[in-house]
Chains A and B, each alone.
Chain A
Amino acid sequence: MALGSAARTWMLLMGLTLLSWLLHDMVGASAVVYALIVLTTVKVYLIEWGFMEVGRSEPGLRRFYLVWPGVIGSFFAGAAWLVASV
């Protein structure tokens, strides 16, 4: 059976979490910040693929769901930049 996009995203999340955990001593805090950005972005896409069936049936929310990964991605990029700069 072919893997669904949610399953592939989940496997990517598992791999990234494992790498962050195994390598954090070696690569330092800045790499953890990058891991944070990637992990949260991938996670956001897992949500996007997940369960928007009801929400998408509503015109206002459908427009929101079209732009929200970008909005949330920008939010996390900003947060990660903040983390790195503090």
Chain B
Amino acid sequence: MNDRFGAERVTPLRSEAAFAAKGIWIFVALDMAIFGLFFFVFLLEKRADPALFAQSQSHLNSHFGFANTLLLMTSSWLLVESLRCFPARAGAARHLLAASATLGGVFVISKLVEYHLKFSAGITIAQNTFFAFYFLLTFIHFCHVVAGLIALIFIYRGMGRSEHYDVKPFAESTGIYWHMVDLLWVFLFLLLYLM
């Protein structure tokens, strides 16, 4: 339907969805730019003292990094499948979303265990430059995961309601955010644990 100026009339849902999508893309771009700067400075510091970075890296357990990567990738795939099911098969979508959030929760627990092991071994953020970056970057990422999990819980509740159209734009925006969190972890895993 067109308005009196001949332009296509945008329904409230579409304008809300577009607003949410544009907003989340701007946020993703800014957040990735900030992380990009962190990664660049990390690499410059590594170049300045490669021996220290290699020696410090040997204290990290790459099993944790690997497991966490699998957890987040699987979580975001399940979210993709959940959003594909929704709203036609809302029950299946909710189950997939719950599985996605559970894997995110396991990531949080795994990260806390890893931090605990580091602190138990006497390794802190003040240890050296490498561990300053390690704790800073992984903790900021950890906060992103927790924020994403809270959003997933809201979507799970929203999917249970009858008026599904309310939750769809928020769900898609959260999905984009969740993929960004996962992508950042891929960088962190390769930079901190493997390179």
Contact = CB atoms under 8 A, between A and B. Distances in A.
Interface of A: 4, 6-7, 9-10, 13-14, 17-18, 20-21, 24, 29, 32-33, 35-36, 39-40, 43-44, 46-47, 49-55, 57-58, 60-61, 64, 79, 82-83, 86
B108 interface: no
B185 to A, nearest CB: 10
Given A21-B66, A54-B168, A60-B18, A35 B190 contact: yes
A73 B101 CA distance: 28
Interface residues of B, number: 43
A78 B192 CA distance: 19
Given A7-B81, A39-B190, A50-B79, 13 more contacts: A4-B84, A13-B73, A17-B186, A21-B65, A36-B190, A40-B183, A43-B73, A46-B77, A51-B83, A51-B175, A58-B14, A79-B36, A83-B195
Contact of A10 (B22, B73, B169, B176): B73
A25 to B, nearest CB: 9
Contacts, number: 114
Nearest to B33: A75
B183 A54 contact: no
Contacts of A50: 79-80, 83-84, 175, 179
A47 B32 CA distance: 16
Contact of A58 (B21, B39, B80, B171): B21
A32 B36 CA distance: 17
Task: Tell me the interface secondary structure of chain A in the complex.
Answer: helix
Contacts of B179: 43, 46-47, 50
A27 B100 CA distance: 33
26 contacts: A4-B81, A6-B84, A7-B81, A14-B73, A17-B66, A18-B66, A21-B62, A21-B65, A21-B66, A24-B195, A32-B190, A32-B195, A40-B186, A43-B73, A43-B179, A47-B176, A51-B80, A54-B21, A54-B172, A57-B17, A58-B14, A79-B36, A83-B43, A83-B191, A86-B43, A86-B46
A86 to B, nearest CB: 4
Contacts of B84: 4, 6, 50-51
Contacts of A83: 39, 43, 191, 195
Nearest to A59: B8
